[in-house]
Amino acid sequence: MIYNDPQLVHIVQQVVEVAGTLAFAVSGIRHAAAKHFDWFGGYVCGIAVAIGGGTIRDLILGVPPFWTTDISYLLFTGLALLLTIASRKMMKKLDNAWFVFDTLGLAAFTIAGLQKTVELGHPFWMAIVLGCITGVAGGVIRDVLLNNVPVIFHKEIYAMASVAGGLLYWLLYSISFSLPFVVIATFLFICVIRFLAVYYHLSLPTLHDER
């Protein structure tokens, strides 16, 4: 089985993280394009989505932000910017691909946050919080920079897929399943929840004010 080969799992994890980083950067750049930002503004919004969540996680954990030792996140965001500049039509046609990549990113970043927090000896509730922050906070920063209301606060289920993944990770980990199995199960679980949420337009109940 695949999950008995840690090296293969690692390679798959890296491919998925690159796809996710690209999708996150593209999301920031395209939102910036909708507001007619210039190339620099697009790049900043792209990098904010790609590294924002992980940076907040690392500041809370008190460790150096993950991207400070690896220039590739900046380069992938540059690539995403070039792609967007080169062909808006192509980007539009790839909408479904970007949606899939974005979901892979959500799952991969959540798991990266879960693992890093647990490895540093924090309790599991912290891991779930920081897994969710790693997965979704970048998109919130993007919306704040764009002067939009954060989309994850009122659209289809997104952050809750990350939280549900965190809970499953905790459960399987506690039952002493092997780590690769836990990671793969969590990954698929997050993706399935997100796909179902978008397909069936599932969202959390809305709060109402008093008036």
Residues that bind its own copies (CB under 8 A): 29-30, 32-42, 44-45, 55, 59-60, 62, 64-65, 68, 71, 74, 84-85, 88-89, 91-92, 122-123, 125-126, 129, 140, 144-150, 152-154, 159-160, 203-210
Nearer to its own copies, 18 or 152 (CB): 152
- Residue 150, CB-side half-sphere exposure with 13 Å CA sphere: 13
**What DSSP state is assigned to residue 204?**
P
Nearer to its own copies, 9 or 50 (CB): 50
Whole-angstrom CA distances from 80 to 25, 44, 84, 149 are 6, 12, 6, 24
User: What minimum distance in Å lies between the beta carbon of 178 and its own copies?
Assistant: 28
Nearer to its own copies, 10 or 154 (CB): 154
User: What minimum distance in Å lies between the beta carbon of 190 and its own copies?
Assistant: 15
The amino acid occupying position 32 is A
Nearer to its own copies, 129 or 168 (CB): 129
Q: Is 17 helix (H, G, I), strand (E, B) or coil?
A: helix
User: What minimum distance in Å lies between the beta carbon of 29 and its own copies?
Assistant: 7
User: What minimum distance in Å lies between the beta carbon of 108 and its own copies?
Assistant: 21
DSSP string, 57-116: HHHHHTS--GGGG-THHHHHHHHHHHHHHH-HHHHHHTHHHHHHHHHHHHHHHHHHHHHH
Nearer to its own copies, 144 or 196 (CB): 144
User: What minimum distance in Å lies between the beta carbon of 137 and its own copies?
Assistant: 10
- By the 10 Å C-beta count (0-12 exposed, 13-18 middle, 19+ buried), 77 is classed as buried
